[in-house]
Amino acid sequence: MSYRLLTQIAVLLIIAILCITRPMLFETFLSAQPTADFTQGTHGIDVSHDQGQVDWQKVAQSGIKFVYLKATDGITYTDPKYFQNLEGVKATNLAVGAYHFFEPEDDPQAQLDNFLNHIEGKSLSLTPMIDVELQRSQSAAQIKARLQQFLTALEQRTGCKPLIYSYGSFWQANIGVEFNDYPFWFAEYNQTMQPPAKLKNIQIWQYSQKGSVPGVDTPVDLDKVLNEQQGLEALKCNY
């Protein structure tokens, strides 16, 4: 066996060993996404304390047009970066909205009170969003009833038609066509969007959870408004 062939075999063995013992090296390399071009269309991000310290001036200069900030979760939780992020965004030309993480087992009125305490009078410019993605051992009927109570009261209080955020299988199992009157924010991380056939009124597509945006040091959710002609106009609301 020639020396050259032995060398090639040795290299292949080393690569195979690395793939087994250090898979994250290859996963990171293959899944890393370069910074996208945000100048085409209406792109946005949604953030929470998970993104750490954000340089909002850099975000605004990147081509990103809008941002949603996590404000609250359940009955008592406030995102620890919410107010800091809000002040930072206000110093830019970014359109901004806030969202609440819905806990289906918690009292909807108490959740609403928590959310309203953090969004009213804060000069937000985009309609409120409700993130509904966990079942928490509740039935579909319970989730629907509590979500409807929350949404109805939120719209009455703010005058804004709230956005519902979720993903396809959860929508099919726990939300459904009864909520098609509400604008929908659809999460699906594929090259093309493939929502359930009966899901209507999709306004925003969250197409990545591993985006790279100048000013954000961590992976971040990337979102796109689907109606290019209308842009953000349908989602603008002052409360």
Catalytically annotated residue among 46, 103, 131, 223 = 46
Catalytically annotated residue among 55, 107, 133, 188 = 133
Distance separating alpha carbons of residues 208 and 203, to the nearest angstrom:
16
Q: Is 46 a catalytic residue?
A: yes
Other Cβ atoms closer than 10 A to 80? 11
Per DSSP, 182 falls in state S
- The pairing of strands 43-47 and 220-225 is antiparallel
CB 164 within 8 A of CB 132: yes
What letter represents residue 233's amino acid?
E
Strand runs labelled E in 95-152:
95-101, 129-131
Based on DSSP, count helices (H) and strands (E) in the chain, helices before strands: 7, 9
Q: How many residues can be counted in the chain?
A: 239
Which are the catalytic amino acids? 46, 133
